[in-house]
Amino acid sequence: MKKEVVATKNAPGAVGPYSQAVRTGNMVYTAGQIALDPQTGQMVDGGIKEQTHQVFANLKAVLEAAGTGLENVVKTTVFIVDMNKFSQVNQVYASYFTGDFPARSCVEVARLPKDAEVEIEVVAAL
């Protein structure tokens, strides 16, 4: 099965030896996205809710570049630095998915790149 790298300027560029996403077969696997503004390369202002909205904007842009969208997400992995803020992330998260929700894992971590409060990666069908 051939793998194809997905890249878009509408989401933060990879800053290391990884791709924004990889498409193979009928699936797309994204790298984790944090709340970087793709235009400035800086973290968005605000708290975890604002960060979560930016994360989804970045994921949406990567998925669109791959030829799919949030409606085709089958699995998400959420990384959060403070599980006490999970309800805030969950509130924003729920606004991006309706009906048949994707499978999800959520893991509390000690630290994320750029001291982000949340990072999300997804797997989507084409």
- Domain coordinates in residue numbering, the chain: 3-125
| Sheet containing 3-6, strands listed edge to edge, beginning at the edge strand earlier in sequence | 3-6, 21-24, 27-30, 118-125, 73-80, 103-108
Span 3-125: which CATH code?
A: 3.30.1330.40
pLDDT reading at 28 higher than 90: yes
> DSSP per residue over 87-111, as a string?
HHHHHHHHTT--SSPPEEEEEE-S-
Provide mean pLDDT across the span 98-121.
96
This prediction's pTM: 0.96
Active site residue 59: no
Encode pLDDT of 38-77 as tens digits.
999 999 999 999 999 999 999 999 999 999 999 999 999 9
Catalytic residue among 22, 70, 92, 106: 106
